[in-house]
A and B are shown apart, each in its own frame.
Chain A
Amino acid sequence: MVRRRRERGYSLLEVTVMLGAFAAVLAIFFIATAEMRQWEKRLPINFMRHPQVSAVIARMRRDVVSAQAPDPYEPEFGGFTMSSKTLILRTIVPSGGLQTVVWDFSEPGVARRHAYTSTLKESVWTARGLPNDFSSEVKLDAVEFDDRPYGVRITAKDSNGRIAIDQILQPRAHD
């Protein structure tokens, strides 16, 4: 035998309390998310999370730190000209020899490191798949220090024009 039961549903108070609790939870989620988004918008893209970008910076740092002071830079070499997208410098390699290294950022999405011993091209290291906004905005500049060789300043902005990378690399003393 089927037992019949009187359908009552929920009272207005019950539904209101439940909706109130639900609205409070939603409000907490919304406030927390909005605050998070606000901070995210303020910060530039973290290019250094990209393995190719961090590899390029690390290799360039090594080249500059090991550069042959006091004047390691060349205005022109191997068909390249020093510019905001091209860095030419003489650097000391782990074997103790001297190489001329050209860093070339002229092609979008790609960075190339050309290494020459004397005038003979020895190797080309290529970093592909760089973020477009990084490779289009990356800029090389000189930093002046009193009585010291120029340093290299590498800057890059993200697509919103915020500075995401600003690093000063300085040749170290070595005999």
Chain B
Amino acid sequence: MGRGEYQTPHYNAAMRDERGFTLPEVLAALVVLTIIITVSFAAFLERNNRLQQAAEIMLAYQALANEAEYQRRIQYTLLIDDTESSDTDSSGSEFRSDTKLLEPLGDYGTSVKVNTVQPGVRNVTMTVRWRNGERIARLTLVRVDTGGLRLW
């Protein structure tokens, strides 16, 4: 488009009072807009992260509750204290229950550790780890030696 086309009387009349915005004005407006968008987006992301975290924790605690049902049923004498185990690096055993539910968490790990709190009382701690161990859900069950009573 040639420069001459802008020289028409009509165009000149229309543009006579047009000054437009200066660069600092436009930049300042953009900065304000960017701050607003960034804050809104950060809030949106945070909300989604929390929802996602809640969904993950819901899965993890379902698995923990299921495992607790199994650990609750094991005879007290068969609960081996990990500190008494010959394997000093023992990280506990894996879950006995079905953990297919945890598959959406990606690489996850489960462990069950037993430790004696006092004679006749043992804590069974079940742990689910995911996101390379960054996220952890844990549930501890207190088992008491009832002398083998079935209670049924």
Contact = CB atoms under 8 A, between A and B. Distances in A.
A173 B152 contact: yes
B28 interface: no
A38 B18 CA distance: 49
Nearest to B37: A25
B98 A145 contact: no
Contacts, number: 78
B104 A43 contact: yes
Interface in B44-62: 45, 48-49, 51-52, 54-56, 58-59, 62
A151 B45 contact: no
B126 to A, nearest CB: 13
Given A46-B58, A166-B98, A170-B72, A39 B65 contact: no
Interface string B73-108: 100000000000000000000000110110110100
Contacts of A44: 55, 59, 104
Interface residues of A, number: 38
Q: Does more than half of chain B's interface fall in helix, strand or loop, or is it mixed?
A: helix
B15 interface: yes
A167 B65 contact: yes
Contacts of A12: none
A46 to B, nearest CB: 4
Interface in B127-152: 150-152
Interface of B: 15-20, 23, 30, 34, 37-38, 41, 45, 48-49, 51-52, 54-56, 58-59, 62-63, 65-66, 69-70, 72-73, 97-98, 100-101, 103-104, 106, 150-152
B56 A43 contact: yes
A27 interface: no
A43 B23 CA distance: 47
Contact of A18 (B30, B56, B150): B30
Nearest to A5: B19
Given A42-B104, A43-B104, A167 B66 contact: yes
A147 B97 CA distance: 17
Given A32-B41, A149-B152, A163-B103, 9 more contacts: A42-B104, A43-B52, A46-B51, A48-B58, A70-B152, A166-B66, A166-B98, A169-B69, A175-B151
B150 to A, nearest CB: 7
A16 B12 CA distance: 29
Interface in A31-67: 32, 36, 39-40, 42-44, 46, 48-49
Q: Which 7 A-B pairs have the closest CB atoms?
A: A173-B151, A166-B101, A46-B55, A168-B66, A168-B69, A170-B69, A145-B73
Contacts of B16: 2, 4
Given A4-B16, A40-B52, A32 B69 contact: no
B67 to A, nearest CB: 9
